[in-house]
Amino acid sequence: IVVINPGNPTGNVLSRSNIEDIITFAHEKNILIIADEVYQENVYQGEFHSFKKVMAQMGGDASQVEMVSLHSISKGLSGECGLRGGYMELSNIDPDVMAQMFKIRSINLCSNTCGQLMMELMTNPPTLDNASQATVDVFNTDKESSFGALKQKAEYVSECFKNMTNFESNPIQGALYAFPRVHFSQKAIDAAAAAGKAPDLYYALKMIDEVGIVTTPGSGFGQLPGTHHIRFTFSVWPDERLEKIMRLWKEFNEKFHAEH
């Protein structure tokens, strides 16, 4: 079972009890957990809990669940998408499987030098033990600035969705995404069917054509039957550009629902 926490596309952050339930389920069903935690530094509401840490603290048989934990420099707070680097940590994995994993990694190319340097910086940030006070101050200031800007964008986008017709959205708790639910009329659903498309895909394509905003329809991720969502990445700079996008989106949304 693959669990992305904080979530993509939902932007949610799992509670500790959620994680305990998943680990218990995995133990009962003998399922390996892949914990994708690349957005762990992007938590705007609530608290991030590491799957491995929770598993260890649960103790007993649950602490023996097979688990692969993932992290990356290419996503999350650093968001260095042009620099590829990451790691996985394997817990309670069969030694024969571990041997095969090491074999696969040893014959593959490694990340480029810049990616490796960024990974080192992420896993071992500057401290007074290894850098000057000035370096530590600059690093922390930049990190706090990036996080503060993303948190502000998350709150702004969440507030915008509250004022959009037929939109329903949970607060964005973490990661870089919003995943609002859009309620479509039967007329809109019929129009989408006539075009041979899912309603959320139909909506997303019309928005590209009319205002040039690119989003991802929820049907591409899998969703409850009868529900429709749109994934939106809010890590847009500068703020004025994000404000323009949300204004155009609201205008398009009002027009779409008026016509359908």
Q: What band does 170 get if pLDDT is binned at 50, 70 and 90?
A: very high
- Of 110, 108, 122, the closest CA to residue 73 belongs to 122
Reply yes or no on whether the pLDDT at 135 is more than 80: yes
Report in angstroms the alpha-carbon separations of 131 from 127, 138, 139, 140: 6, 11, 11, 12
Q: Which amino acid is at 244?
A: K
SS3 label, residue 60 = helix
Q: What does the block give as tokens for 23?
A: 């680990």
Q: What is the pTM of this model?
A: 0.90
Q: What does the block give as tokens for 40?
A: 């762990």
Residues comprising the chain, all counted:
260
Tell me, what's the pLDDT at 114?
87
* Strands, E assignment, 78-124: 86-91
Peptide bond into 9 cis (omega under 30): yes
Give the C-alpha separation, 154 to 150, whole Å. Answer: 6
Q: What band does 3 get if pLDDT is binned at 50, 70 and 90?
A: very high
Backbone torsions φ then ψ of 26, nearest 5 degrees = -60, -40
Q: What band does 217 get if pLDDT is binned at 50, 70 and 90?
A: very high
Q: Which amino acid is at 232?
A: F
157: left (phi over 0), alpha (psi -120 to 50) or beta: alpha
Give the C-alpha separation, 14 to 188, whole Å. Answer: 34
Q: What percent of the chain has pLDDT over 70?
A: 100
Q: What band does 81 get if pLDDT is binned at 50, 70 and 90?
A: confident
Q: What does the block give as tokens for 57?
A: 């603290």
The residue-averaged pLDDT of 107-114 equals 82
Tell me, what's the pLDDT at 236?
92
> Where is pLDDT greater, at 123 or 194?
194
SS3 label, residue 110 = coil
Give the C-alpha separation, 90 to 98, whole Å. Answer: 8
Q: What does the block give as tokens for 21?
A: 């339930």
Say if residue 224 is exposed, middle or buried (CB neighbours under 10 Å; 0-12, 13-18, 19+): exposed
Tell me, what's the pLDDT at 245?
98
pLDDT digits (tens, 9 = 90+) for 23-75: 999 999 999 999 999 999 999 999 999 999 999 999 999 999 999 999 998 88
Tell me, what's the pLDDT at 100?
95
- Of 79, 62, 71, the closest CA to residue 35 belongs to 71
